[in-house]
Amino acid sequence: MGIQKKIKARMEQAMVKSYFKSWYKRWWGKLVLLIGILFLLSLVYFSLFFVNDFRHIMVGDVFNKELGTWISSEQYKDNQKDISNVLTEDDPFLGTDEPIVYIMAYESFGCVYCKENQADIKEMTDKFGPIIRFVVKDFPTEGLHENVFDAHLAAGCAQEQGKFWEYRDLLFANQNEFAISQLKRYAAEIDLSQNEFSQCLSNEEYAQEIRQDYAQGVDLGVTGTPSYVVNGQLMPGTIPMALWEEIIGFIIKQN
């Protein structure tokens, strides 16, 4: 009997031990350990990111959202110079000198779609003028529209006398009526100096600038009109006002 009691006691003791395992040996204990390890790894991971970002900030680096990486202040300045080279001071523009949104419009005065988009352009520039810079670039559709290059020359001559936007409206209103005599008549309608205008037009004073705009557009991927480059992003085709609001609103949120 004594031996049987001892065996029974040992067995009961073994069963008790099996029911009372250490917490880290149970399934929920293992789960807690796993979660704890993942938390520590995440903490280390984000700490490294924080230290890395802090180090860049301390040396004056700038985070480039388009590239998704940090660039030096020198690289940032070079990028700004590149933008300035494209957005030349002699191009007509609407808006502010310190914009959040840069818009370059590659248009042809002979393009029907450019004409149709003017109402949306006017509404957009009126609404967002304090935060945008809307720059007009020449992209004459030669071969498709007769005398369109002369129309772009004439617009440059009107700009010389400070009336580019008035003349631009007349060109779109009288689309493809671009004979030299007609271009001079439009100049008279907005009281431009006829002698200065005629001399500027006959000398083709803005031919090189128009060719440069066209070449820049091709380099940026422009293949047709209208095409818009918004903060470096090419957007071909007409853009209605509702879409302009979405685009500009998105950029504002990013900034």
Q: How long, in residues, is the chain?
A: 255
Is the domain 90-254 a CATH 2.120.10.80 member? no
Q: Is pLDDT at 205 greater than 60 in this prediction? A: yes
Label residue 117 by pLDDT band (50, 70, 90).
Answer: very high
pLDDT at position 215, please? 95
| Residue-by-residue DSSP string for 170-221 | HHHHTTT---HHHHHHHHHHTT--HHHHHHHHHTTTTHHHHHHHHHHHHHHT
pLDDT at position 40, please? 83
What is the residue extent of each domain of the chain?
Answer: 21-59, 90-254
For residues 227-234, average pLDDT = 94
pLDDT at position 83, please? 55
Q: Is pLDDT at 155 greater than 80 in this prediction? A: yes
- Beta carbons of 91 and 79 less than 8 angstroms apart: no
For residues 165-183, average pLDDT = 96
pLDDT at position 135, please? 95
Q: Return the minimum-mean-pLDDT range out of 49-53, 228-232, 241-245.
A: 49-53
Q: What is the pLDDT of residues 192-203, one digit of tens each?
A: 999 999 999 999
pLDDT, greater one: 225 or 60: 225
